[in-house]
Structure 1
Amino acid sequence: MCSNTAYQNTAQRILQKRLASGEIDVQEYKALRDVLDSNPIGKRDK
């Protein structure tokens, strides 16, 4: 069973790669990271 932390670390790595490649800009990166931090995978309201 994977922990939420593992998912979050993976998601953050993907965000960083997208930022580095220019796919998203810094504002998008920060917004997506904030969403990730405030709404961890597996803890969403159903």
Structure 2
Amino acid sequence: HEVDAYYDYTIDKGLTFTVGGGYLFADDEFGAGDDAWKAGTALTAKF
């Protein structure tokens, strides 16, 4: 299971900046240390 949040900002027509993050709830197969935070950014151009 995973919970994510992100925000898209349109810079110009066809150009979008995204920032987001989330938390992964692992299923305890590998012990208590397998949950994880994640974060990232993206710049997307559409032609």
TM-score range, shorter chain: under 0.3
TM-score in terms of structure 2 length:
0.26
Structure with greater Cα Rg: 2
Which has the larger share of strand? 2
